[in-house]
A = this chain, B = another copy of it.
Amino acid sequence: MKKTTIHDIARELDVTFSTVARALNDHPAISAATKAAVLETAKRLNYQQNKLASSLRSGKSHVIGIIVPSLDTSFFSSVVHGMEKVLNENGYSVLLYQTGESIKQEQKGLGTFLQSRVDGIISSVSSESDGFEFYSEIRKRQVPLLFFDRAIKELEIPSVTINDYKAGFEATEHLIKQGYTRIAHITSEKNLTIFNERFRGYREALEKYGLPFQENMVFKGTVGLELGQESVRRLQAEHLPFDAIFAAEDYTAMGALQQLLESGVQVPLQVGVIGFANEAFGAFVTPSLSTVDQQTIKMGEETARLFLKLTANKDYYGSTPEHIVLDPFVVARKSSQPQRQG
């Protein structure tokens, strides 16, 4: 006998797959009447929700594995919340694996997900990753794979990313429009597209506004508080004239801000500071930290929706991979707006 699926129930009632899935999971957005109708139909068609049994029969576990560098940052935990919301509503459970930016952990995580027979993997690659071979293998096995935020462009894998070039350009342009002209940049030493693109945006904004690009105004290291502090100390020790800092990451911007304030520099009157990622603390500090918002919840939701759309097709890898690119926007707070002071 053919097994009754959620699609059968949806067809019978002329509602969407998602409505049935949510009704079966007692989702609050579904009315009591719809739930009753779905349950009645499910019973009549002899629908079996036994997930373990059904996963063994159908090869479906209704579990999605998500690989993230670290959930310590507001950025990733917020994106993941966006994904979980949409995936849960559609009857999927979400398992998370943190790589800590280690390629070894990343491969272990991917292996663990395959072993757990997840229905798909959504990944943001670690900064160590060249990960070609491993991700190719997942593709070869026909396990649906989608990249978010950090993708490996050379692989033909669907992705949801943000326009980091534009983000870097607009953060720099914001500083220039506030009157700053000697803008230092602090970024990661790692060869990650997201940081390379922010850096390219910084250079091209300088160029567009006729400001010189100076190699010695760019500081690279392991992003974080210390890199920001150390970069400012170096700017000061080398007597490099500067009046603004664009840090490619918020904790780094915070470190720069702390070091400036400690050495008696007025922010934003003498030096403007803008970070990146809109971490939760930025709104609380004094002066409040300007930053770039990456639309994290939206990124999570778009990622989950693209995944659901693509997995609804039988042949996940059959067509040209879809790439969604989101636009970030500058969040101008006090640390970069001298006019707003006093």
Contact = CB atoms under 8 A, between A and B. Distances in A.
Interface of A: 26, 46, 48, 51-52, 55, 61, 63, 65, 70-72, 74, 77-78, 80-81, 84, 88, 93-98, 100, 104-105, 108-109, 111-112, 114-117, 140-141, 254, 258, 280-281, 284-286
A105 B88 contact: yes
Contacts of A109: 93
Given A63-B116, A258-B284, 19 more contacts: A51-B111, A52-B111, A52-B115, A61-B116, A71-B77, A71-B80, A80-B98, A81-B98, A81-B100, A88-B105, A93-B109, A93-B111, A95-B95, A95-B116, A116-B117, A254-B284, A280-B281, A281-B284, A284-B284
This protein's copies in its complex: 2
Contacts of A80: 71, 98
Given A95-B112, A97-B95, A281-B280, A72 B77 contact: yes
A111 B114 CA distance: 18
Contact of A26 (B63, B104, B140): B104
Contact of A96 (B88, B95, B100, B258): B95
Contacts of A72: 74, 77-78, 81
25 contacts: A26-B104, A48-B114, A51-B115, A52-B111, A52-B115, A52-B116, A55-B115, A71-B80, A71-B96, A72-B77, A72-B78, A72-B81, A77-B77, A84-B100, A93-B112, A94-B97, A94-B98, A95-B95, A95-B96, A95-B97, A96-B98, A254-B284, A280-B281, A284-B284, A284-B285
A179 to B, nearest CB: 25
A245 to B, nearest CB: 16
Nearest to A65: B95
A306 B7 CA distance: 39
Nearest to A140: B46
Kindly list the 10 A-B residue pairs having the minimum CB-CB distance in the complex, ordered from nearest: A281-B281, A286-B286, A116-B116, A96-B96, A71-B71, A51-B115, A93-B112, A95-B95, A284-B285, A72-B77
A4 to B, nearest CB: 12
A104 to B, nearest CB: 7
B84 A93 contact: no
Contacts of A70: 77
A144 B80 CA distance: 28
Contacts of A104: 26
A281 B284 CA distance: 8
Contacts of A114: 48, 51-52
Contact of A108 (B93, B97, B100, B116): B93
B254 A63 contact: no
Contacts of A285: 281, 284-286
